[in-house]
Every structure is written in C-alpha cells, then in structure tokens.
Chain A
Amino acid sequence: MTKETAISIQQLSKSYQESGQQHAIFSNLEMQVARGEFIVLLGRSGSGKSTFLNLISGIDPPDSGKVLINGTDITGLSEHKRTLFRRHHIGFVFQSFNLIPTLTVAENLLLPLELIKRVTRQDHQHVGQLLEKLNLADRLNTYPDRLSGGEQQRIAIARALIHDPDVILADEPTGNLDLDTAEQVLELLDILVRKAGKTMIMATHSPEVIGKADRVFSVRNKALHAHEFDS
C-alpha cells in the first residue's frame, strides 16, 4: 500500500543577500516525505540544513516553490496563518533546547497546548505523566536553567510532542550533548516520535542516527542528495 504523503516540497528555492549580492542556498529542491517517515539530513555547518527546516515549518518563507504539509500549501498562507498552522501541526526540537527561561518545566510543556485550546485538568495530568516517562516528574516546577543539557533536551522533545503535531522537525538535537546523553535523547525520539507514527525530519551531524532513519539526504551544492544504503 502506498503511504500517504505528509510533506511535499516542490521547486523550492531560497537565497540570501550579502554585500549587495544574492547567494543561493537552495535551488529547485524536490522532496516527498510519507506519513510516519523519518528523514535524516546530513551536511556541513552552514550548508543550509536549519534553513531547510525553517522553510518546511514556515518560519522562513521561500523565494519560490511550494511546501505542502498534509496537502496544505503553507507557502501560499499569510504570515499569521502560517503561524497558526505551525501552532497546530508542527513540533520543533532545537540544538540549544530553547526552552522559555521565564517559564517552569510544566509551563513550558503546557504553553503549546494553551495556544491551541483552554488547558484542562487532564492536560496537567498528561504533562505529569509525560514527565514521569522522562524520569523528570520531580522537576515539574523547576526553571530550565536548573536542569542539565540532557534534561533540557528531553523537556524540549516533550514540548514538541505535547500538542500531538503531525510533523516533528529536529535541528541537531544532540549537537550540544555528550555521547551517552545523545544516545538517550535519540532513544527517546525513537520511542515518542517514531512509535507514535509521527513524521520527522532531523538535521544532524551524528552518524549514529543514520541507522534509525528511513531515508538519508545530504545537503550539498544547493541541492538535496539522497544516500543509498545496502539493505
């Protein structure tokens, strides 16, 4: 059975301006990602992996081309509508965790829910359960700066999933972590994301991830290059 397409990228181009000159980052990218698929993006620093994720999430608009998520062309939406779309359908995990420092762990997790709906007692219970799964139940009212890097990233993953988005975009989620912690975080992503059937695109330098991915691409020379692996 052919899997349903979750993300469709068509003729996507993006450039930036520096010293009055236009520099292309991508030119006419094409990519189809099926629902539940786990894509890994490899590439050198500065190759455009983060920009690619920003384009998919609608944080950054492309110069031309289309990004369709579950059939919705987000490039045709206004900035306001893109934000609302992102709020409902996309979860983000960043390299530097990016938790809101002025909110507690629980509040960081509840914020995406609060943006969608009125937070209920059940939501609070859900947060508690999730933190228990992450072995962080005792850090409910702790501020992010009191947590270790690994703990912060686990919370960041939980925040990306709490509102049940269709797509998870992870930008080098293990980049700031030691090997053991990175392993734990990848394990967590595998359990929480893949097993829940979510679509995920992860930009990374980490070769350990490659084995877990459905497909691997590298970003090179303004284009995506698919890697073929022997099965």
Chain B
Amino acid sequence: MRMNSILNRASRNFLWQHPWQLVLAIVGIALGVAVVIAIDLAMESSLKSFNQAGKAFSGSATHRIVAGDGGLDERLYTRLRVEQGIANLSPVVSGTVKLMQPQQETFSLIGIDPFIEKSLHSGWQNEQKEKFPRELLNRLMTEPNSVLLSEKTAQRLHLQVNGQLKVVTERGPQSLTIIGLLPGNNAISDQVLARLLITDIATAQEVLGAYGGLSSIEVMIDKDTPEALAAIQKVLPGYAMLVSIDSQADSMREMTDAFSINLKALGLLSLLVGMFLIYNTMTFLVMQRRRLIGTLRLLGVTRQQVFKLIIGEAFLLAIVGTIVGIALGIVLGQGLLYLISGTINALYFRIDAASLMVTPLQIAKGVALGIGATLLAVLPPAFEATRLSAVKVLARSQLESGSRRLIKTVGSMSFVLILGGLSLAYFSGNSINFGLASVFLVLFGFGLLTPVVTLAFMNLIERVFGRFLGILGRLPARMVAAEISRTGLAIAALMIAVSATIGMDLMIGSFRQTVAQWLHSSLPADLYVSLSGEKMTAGKAQSDHRLKDKLAGLNGVEMLSTALHTKVSVNGKLTKISVYELNDKFRQGFIFKHQVNDDVWMRFDNERTVMITEPYAYHHGVKPGQQVFLKTDQGELAFDVIAIYGDYNGDQGHLAMSRQNYQRYWPDLGYSGIGVYAKAGADLKQLENRVGELLTAHQAVKSNQDIYKASMEVFEQTFTITETLRWLSAAIAFVGVFSALMALQFERTRQLGILRAIGITSMQLTVLIVSETGLMGLVAGLLAVPVGFLVAYILIFVVYQRSFGWTMAFYSDSGVLYQGVALAFIAALFAGVFPALKMAQTKPAEALRTE
C-alpha cells in the first residue's frame, strides 16, 4: 500500500470520527455557494427571460421602432412599407393577459403578421421542428380571437386544440380559441414558448384594446445599406425611435446593473461569512490533530506531505460542499427569482413569467467559487499544520500565545484596512464597485480587529464579574479569552453579519422615512383618478378631456391637476417624461435639491424648459443651466434644464415638463392621471363616490392615503430581496458560531470533565458554557453597533447614491441598535445551548478519558 493512501486514511478516519465538524464544514461551504449561485441564477434568469421573450418575436431583426407608452400608430407601418418602400418590416402588438383559471398565470400575448418575409421569421417560428402548416397561419389571420400556444403548456393546463382559453385583460374577460399547438425542440425553446400566446395583429389589438396601434415594428437592415436607416429616421414621428436590438438589450442590462451589483455584493457577504466558517472549521480540524500530525512528522512524513494532506482533505470537502451548495442554490434561486423579478417589475421594466434558467457557465462559476473560497480559507491552517514540530507537540496554551501575537499584529493591520475602506469610499468617484469594496474593507477590517477588542472586553468582564461572582463568574470570560484563536473568529463572523444587518436596517429605515416624506409632499390632491389603457387608442385624448371637464364641474371640487407619463427621445435615448398641469399646491410638493430662482415656475410653464429628477441628473451628469435635446415633431430641439428635484419613483430618473410646453411639440395623448382637490369641508367619501360614477371600467379613483399605502407596499416589496439575503448571511454566521462552539466544547471535553469531577453540577456546567457563548454574542453585538452605523453611512451616502442617484437623510433608530445587539446575543446564546446540553449530559468518566 502506498504511503499516501495510508496517510489519507488516517486523515479520513479522523473526519469520520468527527461527523459534526464534517457536516458543519460542508454546510459552511454549501451555504456560501448557494446564496451566490441563487442570486446569480435568479438575476440572470430574469434578464434572460426578458431578452428571450423579445427574441420570440424579434427573430432576426436588427432594429426595432419603438415609442413611449402610447405605442406606434399602425399607419406608420404602411407609410414605411408603401411610401418609403422599406422591406423586411414586421409589425408587433404585444401585451399581457392573465388566465382566469386555474392559477391566474400571466402570459404574453403577441400579435404578428404571419406572412412576413421568411428572413424576418420570429424566434418561435424558427424554433419549430418542421415547417409550420400554412393552413394554421391562414386560420390565425381569418378566425377572430384565435391563438397558438406551446404543446407543453397545453399539456400542463389540460388544454386542447379548438378549446377555449379564458383570459382577462385591461378590457375585461375575453375568450380565445386555441387553433394549434407549437412543439418545442430544445430547452430554450420550451422556456421561450412556455408563457407565450401567438396571434395575429388584429386579434391582439382587439384583445388588448390597442385599436390602430402597434407596440413596435421589427426591422432587418443589411449592414451594407445604412441608407435604409436614414430613410426610416426621416419619416419617424417625434414620439418614435429606431433602436438597435443589441443596444436595447444592453440598456436593459445597464439599467439593472446597479441593482444586480448590490445583490451580488450581498451574496458575496454571505460567502465572506461562509469563508470565516470554513477557515474556523479547518483550523479546528488541523489543531485537533496536532498530535497525529506531530507523530506523522516523527515517522518521516514531510511538511509538503502534511500540506498536501490538508489541502486534499479541504478539496474533497469543497467538492461535496459545492455540489450541495449548487443544488441548494438552484432551489433558493427559484424562490429568489420571484422576489427579483418582482423588484425589476416594480423598478425597471416588465418581466412576465420568468423561469429559472441554469447554464453550464453558471454551474462552473459556482464550482470555481466553492472550491476557490475553500482552498483560500484553508491555506492558513494548512501552513500552520506544516509548522507543527516533529518532536514536540505544542500545548494548546503555547498555540494560543502564538495566536495572541498574531491577533495583535492583525489588529494593527485592521486599521489600515478600515482607513483604506473609508478613503476608498471618499475618493473613488462614482464607482459602485469601489463603493461596495469600501464596505467590504471596513467590515473585514473590523472583523480583524474583533479578537483584540474581545480580549479587552473579556478582561473587563472578568474583573467586574469576578469581583461579585468569584472564580465561576470569572471563568466564562477567561474561557473566551484563553481560546481567542477560535472564539475570536466566531465572534468576528457574527459581528460582520450583525453589523451588515444593522447597516442595512438603518439604510432601509432611512430610505423608508425619506420616501414617506416625499410621498406626503408629492401627493397634495385629495383624490387621484388613474386613466390607464393604451394611449394610442383612438379618441382617448378627447375622452380624457371630457372627463376632466366633468370632474371640474363636480360639486365639492376646488381645482384639478393633471399628469401624463410618457416617453420621448432625450439625447438619443427613450426617456420617461412627466407632463404636468400644476396648481400652487402641487408646486409646493416639489422638493428641489438646490436653490432655485423665483421665476422657476414661470419659466417652467412658458419657456422651452424641463426639470429633471435627481437620478436623471446623476446618471446623465446633467446640471441646471445645461440643455437636453428632445426629439419633437418639429425635429430635435434644445430644452433648458432649470431645476433638479427629488423623486423616488424609479432609479433611472425622468424629466418633467409643463403641459403647455409639451403640447407645442407633441400630439395630445390625454392624461395618465388627474388630481382632484376638494373644497374645504367637502365630504371626501361622497366626492370619491361622485368621481367614481363618472369613470369607466378601466379607470379608477383612489384617495391620496390609498396611493400612499400602495406606494409604501411597493417600497417594502422592492426590499424583500435585500431583507431575505441579509437574513441568509445572518443564518450562515449563526452556523459559524454554532460550529465554532461545538468544536470548542468538544476540544475541551476533558477540561469540562475535570470540573465535573471536582464537583461542578451539570446545571452549573450548562450555565458556564451558555454564559461563555452569551459573552461572545454580547461583544459581537456591541462591536456591531458602531460598525453597523458606519456601514449604513457608506451605504446611504456612497453606495446607494452611486447606484441609484438618490440622496436620502440619515435616520438613526435606536430600536435597530438594540435589536442588533439582541440578535447577536441571542444567536450566540442559542448556538451555545446545544453544545452546553451535550457537554452537561456527557458522563464525567467518559470526559476524563478523552484526550
């Protein structure tokens, strides 16, 4: 038998004899990998589902003609095709429908022209195994409300050809006839088709209520014929834009970049805490085997062989942990997918029916991360193992005194990291990555400082408690300090997780307060009427105006304000714009981010001006006094930027323009909403009822309180993912503390046996161990408070401002701090209960036999 296999067996047997350590090490690796993988999978799947849904109907198109929320006038298609003679165009009408039964699933309804050029065949057509029967396409054109859907979806929902599909749209319930099924041919195709209903343009317009409108026109332009692009640009109306398909996908990714980076940072935080756990466990496994390693060295095993042994062992653990982590990550990713796509829906763009897509590249990333992080974490203990003397096995106390020297050195180094982190936050311009790196440096720096602080704290506790409670009172603090190489790491991991929790809590709390204040000031009307529906729908503008006149004439109405939310091309990018008809009350609700001149409102109403939101100013580097170029029906015109105002409705930012101004350059699209201001003393409930009587089924009236509540609900929903992830990292830290405590108690079994032999009862022993772990939690919690404050400060004023362009006030909440300390204390206390009970139940005779 070869030497190496015997060595490996010696090491393996040890691991089998310590199943707890084995399991906890694997859990540490698995949890760290799972969180990172889950975030990556969920984020990428959300974006991919958006792109794939696009591909399903863009086919091989190179460009797309798009417009604001109102969509395109279908006459534009005729103009381009007939008047300009541009071939390779494909009109598309798309929207969302909800199944009435069984689970109200959401589907994308896509209306296409089935007889467009083959070169522009949509993705779904190209995905088919065989050529699609022409007869079906004819039926799609000729039979009203006919649709195609995927075979798998039909099977799943027990639907058949010629069966009816009941759906609900903004126009109310509709009935669609399934005339054919689309067979998928690979996994991607199945995913593309899973939530897709294909129909022809006319049916889509009717079902979605977009009469005379198109969502987009897909265009295929040969690289060699750039003149075609110019020809299209020439006839495009002011509200429409020609964008390349690639740049649109890029801009979607760009839009969600900050969100994605912040989520991934949270995942890395879990991995960092997980690495502490792996390091701790591996150090334990090495230190507990110092006698074995010493003996092996005595027998002639070289330092390199010892090193290889430890690394090989870690590698095996990493493989098992990573496999478990990836499996767990996929399950977790499924859960996070709904949270992430929900947040993207609320903040960025609509994603319908995202499903988790796992690619080999993402699995490979997970494998590299799990194995890489484990090997990195195991390097220090592996080197430590090679240093173990061949002739003399070091006593635990000697190892600890060596650790204390190391802790002091590392403690001094920690200041360099903390100061480096703070400097990075201050001097790194607008980089989100550097902002997050500064948070990590500060957290890691304080993590390294934790053992030094722990020693000082334990010294103090020992003096105070020792005075009143004697030796037994002194012992818990003494035990923490005596094994600082182990306890210090567990406390550091817990401190990092809790301070990140405090930091995020303070940040979310500050954000919540800021948004609440903004909502209060930006909702001055008593009632708000929302006028949803496709803005291109014929006659919408006229009917909106008629409604406005009726509202103005209602008894109890003092005045009105209106808003139209649409999109225009600003400096070549399709950008949201809010068009306002304001009154004095509404004007007071604007929170300007700088001093404005007295004539700001006069200029807003009468001159070619816009105001910009804070995120827009930040992302585009635009300041008051500068100009932005807007594409109007009269060509591209310069508008003066006259003010920056606070707005937390989305992080991409938008422009505000007076309605007078807008109507000079763009067609009338009606309103998105009308604010109703009641006369003093008017009965709001009655007024709401009177307003309701004037509305159609797709219009709604809500009080400002209802809108406030709904907006705050959206706010809470967007932070659900953050909350979930920080609890996950706290859970990993808990496993870390638990693992460290289990390891510690097992290692000192004999010492605890002696205490039992000289007369300490099992209850006293339990109290002793739980007090020790409680002290560990307390020091972690107390240190986490100032660190959490610092993290919150960097998150609010550096990371979030750089990510989203929002400024917010710092609101400290003492409740968060108490909760943070309590969290650390209780987590550590709880983590200590099981080891304490286990030790208390261990028979003293057995404990004394332990070496």
CA distance A102 to B758 in the complex (A): 15
CA distance A79 to B756 in the complex (A): 11
CA distance A80 to B761 in the complex (A): 6
Is B479 a contact partner of A114 (Cβ separation < 8 A)? no
B258 CB, min distance to chain A CBs, angstroms: 50
Question: What A residues does B844 contact at CB under 8 A?
Answer: 54, 59-60
Chain A residues within CB distance 8 Å of chain B = 51, 54, 57, 59-60, 79-80, 83-84, 86-88, 92, 94, 98, 100-103, 107, 110-112, 114-116, 118-119, 143, 145, 159
**Interface residue count on the B side (C-beta < 8 Å):** 28
Among A92, A103, A118, point to the contact of B757 (Cβ < 8 A): A92
Question: What B residues does A57 contact at CB under 8 A?
Answer: 757
Question: What B residues does A145 contact at CB under 8 A?
Answer: 395, 397-398
A15 CB, min distance to chain B CBs, angstroms: 14
Is A115 a contact partner of B760 (Cβ separation < 8 A)? yes
CA distance A74 to B843 in the complex (A): 16
Is B471 a contact partner of A87 (Cβ separation < 8 A)? no
Q: A102-B751, A115-B759 are in contact. List 17 more A-B contacts (CB 8 A).
A: A54-B844, A59-B844, A60-B844, A80-B763, A92-B758, A98-B754, A101-B396, A102-B482, A107-B471, A110-B470, A111-B758, A112-B758, A116-B759, A118-B470, A143-B397, A145-B397, A145-B398
Among A84, A101, A118, point to the contact of B751 (Cβ < 8 A): A101
CA distance A111 to B754 in the complex (A): 12
Is A101 a contact partner of B397 (Cβ separation < 8 A)? yes
Is B757 a contact partner of A86 (Cβ separation < 8 A)? yes
CA distance A59 to B472 in the complex (A): 21
Among B397, B398, B759, point to the contact of A83 (Cβ < 8 A): B759
Number of A-B residue pairs, CB cutoff 8 Å, is 80
Q: A100-B754, A102-B482, A145-B398 are in contact. Are A107 and B762 (CB under 8 A)?
A: no
Q: Which partner residue on chain B sits nearest A107 by CB separation?
A: B471
Q: A60-B845, A110-B471, A143-B397 are in contact. Are A103 and B758 (CB under 8 A)?
A: no
Is B759 a contact partner of A112 (Cβ separation < 8 A)? yes
Q: Which partner residue on chain B sits nearest A112 by CB separation?
A: B758
Question: What B residues does A115 contact at CB under 8 A?
Answer: 472, 758-760
Question: What A residues does B760 contact at CB under 8 A?
Answer: 83, 87, 115
Q: Which partner residue on chain A sits nearest B755 by CB separation?
A: A100
The A contact surface, by secondary structure, is helix
B787 touches A (CB below 8 Å): no
Chain B residues within CB distance 8 Å of chain A = 395-398, 470-472, 474-475, 478-479, 482, 750-751, 754-763, 843-845, 848
Question: What B residues does A88 contact at CB under 8 A?
Answer: 759
A182 CB, min distance to chain B CBs, angstroms: 21
Is A102 a contact partner of B478 (Cβ separation < 8 A)? yes
Is A54 a contact partner of B472 (Cβ separation < 8 A)? no
Q: A80-B761, A100-B751, A102-B482 are in contact. Are A59 and B474 (CB under 8 A)?
A: no
A13 CB, min distance to chain B CBs, angstroms: 16
Query: In this complex, which of B397, B750, B754, B759 has the most chain A Cβ atoms within 10 angstroms of its Cβ?
Result: B759
Q: A59-B845, A102-B479 are in contact. Are A84 and B757 (CB under 8 A)?
A: no
CA distance A222 to B478 in the complex (A): 43
A98 CB, min distance to chain B CBs, angstroms: 4
Enumerate the 5 nearest inter-chain pairs by beta-carbon distance, A residue then B residue, closest first.
Answer: A87-B759, A60-B845, A145-B397, A102-B482, A98-B754
CA distance A59 to B395 in the complex (A): 27
B275 CB, min distance to chain A CBs, angstroms: 29
Query: In this complex, which of A54, A92, A101, A112 has the most chain B Cβ atoms within 10 angstroms of its Cβ?
Result: A101
Question: What A residues does B754 contact at CB under 8 A?
Answer: 94, 98, 100
Is B759 a contact partner of A84 (Cβ separation < 8 A)? yes
B782 CB, min distance to chain A CBs, angstroms: 23
Is A79 a contact partner of B762 (Cβ separation < 8 A)? yes
Q: Which partner residue on chain A sits nearest B466 by CB separation?
A: A107
Q: Which partner residue on chain A sits nearest B469 by CB separation?
A: A114
Q: Which partner residue on chain B sits nearest A58 by CB separation?
A: B844
CA distance A112 to B760 in the complex (A): 9
Q: List 23 A-B contacts (CB under 8 A).
A: A54-B844, A59-B845, A60-B844, A60-B845, A79-B762, A83-B756, A83-B760, A83-B761, A86-B759, A87-B759, A88-B759, A94-B754, A98-B754, A100-B751, A102-B482, A110-B471, A111-B758, A114-B472, A115-B759, A115-B760, A118-B470, A145-B397, A145-B398
